[in-house]
Amino acid sequence: MENQASILVTGASRGIGRSICKRLIADGYRVTGIARTRPADWPDTMPFHTVDLGMRDAVRQTLAEITALAPYYGLVNNVGFVPTGRLEDLDTTELYKAVALNLEVNILCAQALLPGMRSLGRGRIVNIGSRAALGKPARTLYSTTKAGITGMTRTWALELAADGITVNAIAPGPIATEFFLAANAPQNQDTQKLLASIPVQRIGQPEDVAHAVAYFMDERCSFVTGQTHYVCGGITIGAA
């Protein structure tokens, strides 16, 4: 597919974000990555902007530079912060970092790209949420902000539908990213219990999420908006 539409992906340096970039490039899009650190193996032909996405003013400046070059058809709000801890142990100062990285930067990116999408008469916004929004022990701050993505997605979908812009969310379940593998040792009983609870009998891969993003990003996916799509191997229904 040689559509050559431009897409911005936040948190693009590794894990799910990197996989999303690879899939969208394979589908023929022009992809721009943005994250705190540029990977050593990032292709020279693919734009990458280095910025701490938790720093509001720096993000605004970088977005102004990005959008000055050309309008963007798509946005994938992937960057995220995963604070952990049970209720009695929470450090509420981490709440503000979680809001900045899981919610505010999504708003800033959408605001910056929206004029370009409107000029094109079409657009796609995909917000990466989490299954944890349904509730998960030791994830109060994370689940709170990820649940906010669901409401944000539904509201934007209503506001932008008349502009030809769809807005959807993807809520991954357990995905074998660097963070997940570091935090969930294979020999740990809780990890083994989690993996055993997945109905499809395997852990998810970043490519599974990237495939869902590709679906929502497709021009032909114009009658689906305001939805939250779980990429979880059936855990969300299995738990019910």
Q: Give the active site residues.
A: 142
Residue among 218, 200, 199 at smallest CA distance from 122: 218
Pairing of strands 74-77, 123-128: parallel
Q: Are 176 and 233 in contact (CB under 8 A)?
A: no
**159-169 burial by CB neighbour count: b if 16+ within 10 A, else e?**
ebeeeebbbbb
DSSP the chain: -----EEEEESTTSHHHHHHHHHHHHTT-EEEEEESS--TT--TTS-EEE--TT-HHHHHHHHHHHHTT---SEEEE-------B-GGG--THHHHHHHIIIIIHHHHHHHHHHHHHHHHT-EEEEEE--GGGG--TTBHHHHHHHHHHHHHHHHHHHHHGGGTEEEEEEEE-SB--HHHHHHS-TT-HHHHHHHHT-TTSS-B-HHHHHHHHHHHHSTT--S--S-EEEESTTHHHH--
